[in-house]
Amino acid sequence: MTTASPLDPRAFRSALGCFATGIAVVTTIAPDGLPLGVTVNSFSSVSLDPPLVQFCLGRAAMSFEAFTTAPSFAVNILADDQEDLSARFSRRDLQERWAGVAVETWDTGVPILSGCVASLECDRAHLFDGGDHVIVVGRVRRLASREDGAPLLYVRGRYGRVA
């Protein structure tokens, strides 16, 4: 086992990379009416009653203000064949991300990506300070999930799949 100073950012990131996560694209609508989406792997459930989920968004993200002020957002949990969407929604050009992407809308009008293993439409409930990130908590108002397919995983800086 490699040991390093607990304050060494590279060692901290490497240690956290040992925890496999799923990959999601969180979507919303900007104040100007355009769709926004960002790839995240810091997503989890918070509560079953009421149904709450959270994701973390970097304060330096170009879409930070839109996501922290929008009344609603959707979490689209990517399937293992959607690695391209993960990469696309982590690019810098916010509108280029949407070229040719199939979406639908539900109650709030936020984009729901097609083909995901699960999607959750949420109303923003809380924002919490998370250092260089903000923790966005949403109350789930509608969801859909597939019985088939496996989620896309991320571990040690690489994509992975369920064996």
Q: How confident is the model at residue 9 (pLDDT cuts 50, 70, 90)?
A: confident
Residue 163 clears pLDDT 80, i.e. is over it: no
What's the confidence (pLDDT) of residue 1? 59
Mean of all residue pLDDT scores within the chain: 91
- Peptide bond before 31: cis, by omega within 30 degrees of 0? no
Which runs of consecutive H residues, i.e. helices, occur in the chain? 9-16, 64-69, 83-88
12, 13, 61, 67 from 9: Cα distances, Å: 5, 6, 19, 26
Instruction: Give the mean model confidence (pLDDT) for residues 61-77.
Output: 95
Q: How far is CA 35 from CA 28, 127, 129, 134, in A?
A: 6, 21, 25, 20
Which pLDDT belongs to residue 32? Answer: 92
Pairing of strands 52-58, 21-22: unpaired
Confidence of residue 6 (pLDDT cuts 50, 70, 90): low
Q: Which residue from 72, 71, 79 is spatially nearest to 121, judged by alpha carbons?
A: 72
* Helix, strand, or coil (residue 132): coil
Instruction: Give the separation between CA 41 and CA 2, rounded to whole angstroms.
Output: 24
Can you list the alpha helix ranges (DSSP code H) found in 52-149? 64-69, 83-88
* pLDDT above 70: residue 4: no
Note whether 154 and 160 are within 8 A (CB): yes
Task: Indicate the pTM of the whole model.
Answer: 0.91
Domain 23-145 has CATH 3.40.50.720: no
CA 151 to chain centre: 13
Q: What's residue 160's pLDDT? A: 82
Looking at the predicted structure, is the pLDDT value of residue 5 above 60?
no
| Boundaries of every domain in the chain | 23-145
Express each pLDDT in 26-64 by its tens digit: 999 999 999 999 999 999 999 999 999 999 999 999 899
pLDDT more than 90, % of the chain: 74
